[in-house]
Chain A
Amino acid sequence: MAANGSPKPEPMAAKKASPDLLNSSFSFKSLKLKTKQQELLLRVSILGLVYVLAFIARLFSVLRYESMIHEFDPYFNYRTTLFLTEKGFYEFWNWFDSESWYPLGRIIGGTLYPGLMVTAALIYWTLRFLRFFVHIREVCVLTAPFFASNTTLVAYFFGKEIWDTGAGLVAAALIAICPGYISRSVAGSYDNEAVAIFALLLTFYLFVKAVKTGSLSWALGSAFGYFYMVSAWGGYVFIINLVPLYVLVLLITGRYSMRLYVAYNCMYILGMLLAMQIRFVGFQHVQSGEHMAAMGVFLLMQVFYFLDWVKHQLNDTKLFQTFLRITVTSAILVGGIALGVGTASGYISPWTGRFYSLLDPTYAKDHIPIIASVSEHQPTAWSSFMFDYHILLFLFPAGLYFCFKRLSDATIFIVMYGLTSLYFAGVMVRLILVATPAVCLISAIAVSATVKNLTSLLRTKQKVPQTGSAKGVGSSKSSSKVTLDQSQPFHKNGAIALLVGVFYLLSRYAIHCTWVTSEAYSSPSIVLAARGAHGNRIIFDDYREAYYWLRQNTPTDAKVMSWWDYGYQITAMGNRTVIVDNNTWNNTHIATVGRAMSSYEDEAYDIMRSLDVNYVLVVFGGVTGYSSDDINKFLWMVRIGGGVYPVIKEPDYLVNGEFRVDKGASPKMLNCLMYKLCYYRFGELVTEYGKPTGYDRARGVEIGNKDIKLEHLEEAYTTSNWIVRIYRVKPPTNRL
């Protein structure tokens, strides 16, 4: 870390310390290490520790519960990875799945991002080759922490590129435990973001390196990094828009150079060609509005290069001005016409709803209720920012200040990345993850620069008694050393106090991150835990209980209808065909299910017969007080169903705009299928001491309709805590 300070103080300090160390068995002096080697050893050991830390911090749920896959989406990824390892890549790439979205089926090979599955499968096959016969589930569970550790390494190199090695080390340490990243990469969270953030940071690092050096090899590397990112996550659209925006900013600020030309062109063309290999992406790079910025900047770069070359050839400003005028006007005209024709004729598709709602946050609520209903897509509250970033929140502006002080191609990039990603993080909670590397890097710059200034202040005081060296000291305060003599003690104490403050803040950050990881982000969601009356831990394993009952007690071709949240889990664990699942690609199909759930039993029976449904699964939290059950999600079913079938009207289920399930609820609510299925036989149950029977603990009211009779369905299974309830659809009665 004294790389640009004079090397004189280091050996002095080492010599002073060596008499103590000589007595211990392990001494640096006995190894005859020079300063550079000491520094290298320090750096490598710090990086090694950070690598291990990033892995270990994510293992809370494996230690508390067991090594299992969490949440909903990872179950689909697990199922596809299982398929890949069993059947091979060709079958996987061309897989048509008839077990979901009955009767439509789903082209899985063409509608997923294969990066995660292929990565896990490669790790699995490598381990098997080395004769470690682990189960694929273990590999899947631990893929995310492994790639989080790799991300810290990339963050170190990136920090080194932007600022110096000190900032790199701090960035690696910050990102290892930052809750914003941990939330989506704990062990068991086997989701696309686990490898995508690694790929994102890798692509950015390689591209910045390419711009800095202008060599084709780094640009090639960044193209392959981009390919990995495209294969891993739909968020690659962020890269394909941020990089052109960055190039545009460089062009505008007059930083055009040959290196930029080489880097961007190589990355764009090769990256685009590679990205089109993924079936899910297809031809979007030349047809979709979201990717047009990259193409526009590509053409702009050609124009710039051409103008630059002509200027170079001419060596005559007057002629060049004429030429410039002609070319620029014609280029703008041609570009504008092409864009206009493309958009008007519909060849270039406009921005899709998912990404359009990032630019206009109110769009989804009015037009696409399915996007609006996902809790991760809601705008972010301040508390989430504080929760996920802690001290990084105020270190970020400090880092921005340092970046602006030392502007270069690399720092401009990280500033743009930080600002754009923070904007999007403010629009959608889920995108805090994308902003995390930028925030960590910029905060690392702030920390590193501050600590360096403070320690060099301290070190300056050591040097003053010796002959004042004319070599530049890190703080570059050598010219004012004489005037500092009088205020020496104050500055030294101030520096020490500030250093102590910095270390205190960083230690509080570490404590906060560990607490957040342990309390908030390590729950598997499929297994619930609560504290019993005597403080003992009670585990609710109802979901898996229900899915295994399905697996073992229903015919293999049974079709299960449930709300789309549980689709992936039912197919992965219950191994049965579902009607709708989390992919939510067909809004009408989901609306049909929503309509069935919110209709009276007779109409619902007709819909279920038309879909060949054999079993219905609902999630009910009234006995345990579990609040993410289907009754609380019911209004979304109504809204989505009502979006397609106008016969379902939301006000029918509300009373004075309020959603109630007790005696005052609307009659349609009290008799709809969802209500009946959730509260069947619940009216006889005493859930809480001192409350009447049928007291719903999740809503805190006594239910309105206790005497429920089912005509077309019969109860098949209810789990031990009544969380999951399965009903069999009876075949139509015989006509007599």
Chain B
Amino acid sequence: MVKSTSKDAQDLFRSLHSAYSATPTNLKIIDMYVVFAVFTALIQVAYMALVGSFPFNSFLSGVLSCVGTAVLAVCLRIQVNKENKEFKCKTIVTNLGGIVAMFVIAV
């Protein structure tokens, strides 16, 4: 049982890895940004656990803005990704510049 799950996990990992390398570069850049933002948020949480949560508003604003930019970057990625058919006709701004502009405003 354990051996088959570990073999499954390895297969999983390998196929994920191969599928991911196929994504275009601009999407990978966005993904890096998302990882960076989440990492920053995790560092802040660790700091709060060590030092204490005063002042609470700074902690919250720091963490939430990191999470916020991460989420917004994911939204950007969704809208930019050519494989997402449903966005072709539904967004108000359809060209790339408009989408990036929206992202910047939201941030």
Contact = CB atoms under 8 A, between A and B. Distances in A.
A273 interface: yes
A313 B18 CA distance: 9
B25 interface: no
Interface in B44-75: 56-57, 60-61, 64-65, 67-68, 71-72, 74-75
Contacts of B86: 214, 257-259
B60 A283 contact: yes
Given A258-B87, A286-B60, A215 B93 contact: yes
Most buried by B among A212, A219, A319: A319
A216 B102 contact: yes
Contacts of B71: 265-266, 269
Interface string B1-42: 000010011011001100110000000000000000000000
Contacts of B87: 214, 258-259
B43 interface: no
Interface string A312-340: 11111001001100100000000000000
The size class of the interface chain A forms with chain B is 20 to 34
A259 B67 CA distance: 19
B74 A305 contact: yes
A213 interface: yes
A315 B19 contact: yes
Interface in B78-104: 78-79, 83-84, 86-87, 90-93, 99, 102-103
A326 B13 CA distance: 13
A578 interface: no
A319 B60 contact: no
B92 A217 contact: yes
A387 interface: no
A314 B16 contact: yes
Contacts of A270: 68, 106
B83 to A, nearest CB: 8
Contacts of A272: 64
Contacts of B102: 215-217, 220
Contacts of B83: 312
B79 to A, nearest CB: 7
A275 to B, nearest CB: 11
B8 A322 contact: yes
Nearest to B63: A286
A262 B68 contact: no
B99 to A, nearest CB: 8
Contacts of A708: none
B37 to A, nearest CB: 12
Contacts of A261: 74-75, 78
Contacts of B64: 269, 272-273
Contact of B12 (A213, A216, A312, A323): A323
B61 A273 contact: yes
A628 to B, nearest CB: 44
Nearest to B105: A220
A296 B101 CA distance: 30
Contact of B11 (A214, A265, A266, A319): A319
Given A220-B106, A273-B64, 4 more contacts: A214-B91, A314-B19, A316-B15, A319-B15
Interface of A: 212-220, 257-259, 261-262, 265-266, 269-270, 272-273, 276, 283, 286, 305, 310, 312-316, 319, 322-323, 326
10 contacts: A214-B87, A215-B90, A216-B79, A217-B102, A220-B102, A259-B90, A283-B60, A315-B19, A319-B8, A322-B5
Q: What are the 6 tightest A-B residue pairs by CB atom distance, in nearest-first order? A: A313-B19, A216-B102, A269-B68, A262-B75, A265-B71, A215-B91
